[in-house]
């Protein structure tokens, strides 16, 4: 087994359900192999390049690598004098540049690169606990490319990333965020694909409730019309993220009130239980008027 494959095998031992002690034990286990296999800076650079390359092809490995590199321990950690997280960020930026230059997101590898960037932006923090704001620009640019394509896979990915990172993107990329919401409305009026329409409508709805936890009736409604396992995955991931964000705020003294779900008081929410088709029709009419 090659050195890179040995490292990947050890990283695959990570589990999101590990407690802090177990997680740190596994990190030491990984670093032992990383240090032994990569005695020089060039070796470390090659290993990170390989990790990123295989992460684009393997969703499971990608999740484990991100779990590792977004941990606070890797903010300053170095192997052979190289900051591993910084090297991985450079690989992400290089992939972003190539995708931006092409102007399209057309393959699974490119879509995975968006997921990696979105997860990193969502989870990684500086030593002082701040979001990596410099990633917000590349992320919202890629989301615009996803939306522009009108491809079902791309629009699903767009919706999931907006649900996951919408709060932060709205704060850090205000003008581009406004434009992207306008583009969602425009695409909703012009696309003929029903699946794409559903995901676009979903994107608008979660924007209207501030990317908070979905009201139960709305959740059930979208599950019923999409009949899509990916919707369940998106909702589960975002619910976990919302809970973590709430805990983080509470621990940092930024929130001392009980968190409540903010439900937008628009016609959709008022009518959803009584008359779903009517609610959608009225919502589309409202979008046309605002165009």
pLDDT attached to residue 12: 92
Please indicate, yes or no, if residue 70 is contained in any of the structural domains: yes
Beta strands in the chain (DSSP E): 78-79, 82-83
Please indicate, yes or no, if residue 37 is contained in any of the structural domains: yes
Q: Chain-centre distance of CA 195, in angstroms?
A: 21
Number of domains in the chain: 1
Alpha carbons 271 and 264: distance in angstroms, whole number: 12
Please indicate, yes or no, if residue 86 is contained in any of the structural domains: yes
pLDDT attached to residue 233: 63
Backbone angles phi, psi at 57, to 5 degrees: -105, -20
pLDDT attached to residue 2: 74
pLDDT attached to residue 212: 74
Please indicate, yes or no, if residue 151 is contained in any of the structural domains: no
Token representation of residue 44:
């470390």
Please indicate, yes or no, if residue 291 is contained in any of the structural domains: no
The residue segments making up the domain with residue 68 are 1-91
Alpha carbons 165 and 130: distance in angstroms, whole number: 15
Please indicate, yes or no, if residue 69 is contained in any of the structural domains: yes
Predicted TM-score (pTM) of the model is 0.79
pLDDT attached to residue 168: 93
What is the residue-wise DSSP string for 81-110? TEEHHHHHHHHHHHHHHHHHHHT---SHHH
pLDDT attached to residue 285: 55
Residue 171, Cβ neighbours under 10 Å: how many?
A: 12
Q: Of the candidates 241, 172, 181, 173, which has an alpha carbon nearest to the alpha carbon of residue 206?
A: 181
What is the residue-wise DSSP string for 118-142? HHHHHH-B-TTS-B-GGGHHHHHHH
Token representation of residue 246:
């709430």
Token representation of residue 182:
């306008």
Please indicate, yes or no, if residue 49 is contained in any of the structural domains: yes
Please indicate, yes or no, if residue 156 is contained in any of the structural domains: no
pLDDT in tens, the chain (291 residues): 577 888 999 999 998 888 889 999 999 999 999 999 999 999 999 999 999 999 999 999 999 999 999 999 899 999 999 999 999 999 999 999 999 999 989 899 999 999 999 999 999 999 888 999 999 999 999 999 999 988 999 999 999 899 889 999 999 999 999 999 999 999 999 998 998 998 898 888 888 888 777 777 877 777 777 766 666 666 665 555 555 544 444 434 443 333 322 222 232 233 333 333 344 445 555 555 555
Alpha carbons 278 and 39: distance in angstroms, whole number: 65
């Amino acid at each position: 087994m090659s050195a890179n494959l040995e490292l990947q095998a050890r990283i695959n031992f990570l589990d999101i359900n590990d407690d802090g002690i177990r997680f740190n034990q596994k990190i030491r286990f990984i670093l032992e192999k990383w240090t032994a296999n990569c005695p020089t800076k060039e070796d470390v650079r090659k290993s990170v390049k390989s990790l990123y390359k295989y992460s684009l092809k393997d969703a499971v490995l990608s999740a484990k690598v991100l779990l590792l590199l977004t941990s606070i321990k890797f903010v300053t950690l170095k192997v052979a004098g190289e900051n591993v997280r910084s090297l991985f960020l450079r690989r992400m930026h290089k992939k972003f540049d190539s995708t931006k230059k092409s102007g399209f997101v057309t393959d699974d590898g490119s879509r995975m690169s968006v997921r990696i960037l979105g997860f990193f932006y969502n989870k990684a923090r500086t030593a002082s606990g701040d979001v990596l704001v410099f990633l917000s620009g590349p992320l919202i640019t890629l989301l615009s490319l996803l939306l522009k394509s009108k491809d079902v896979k791309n629009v699903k990915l767009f919706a999931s990333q907006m649900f996951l990172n919408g709060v932060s993107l709205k704060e850090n990329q205000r003008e581009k965020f406004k434009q992207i919401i306008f583009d969602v409305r425009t695409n909703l009026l012009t696309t003929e694909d029903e699946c794409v329409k559903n995901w676009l409508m979903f994107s608008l709805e979660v924007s209207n409730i501030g990317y908070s936890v979905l009201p139960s009736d709305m959740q059930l409604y979208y599950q019923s019309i999409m009949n899509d396992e990916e919707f369940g995955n998106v909702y589960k991931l975002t619910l976990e993220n919302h809970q973590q964000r709430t805990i983080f705020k509470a621990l940092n003294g930024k929130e001392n009130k009980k968190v409540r779900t903010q439900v937008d008081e628009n016609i959709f929410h008022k009518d959803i239980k009584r008359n779903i088709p009517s609610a959608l029709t009225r919502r589309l009419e409202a979008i046309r008027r605002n165009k």
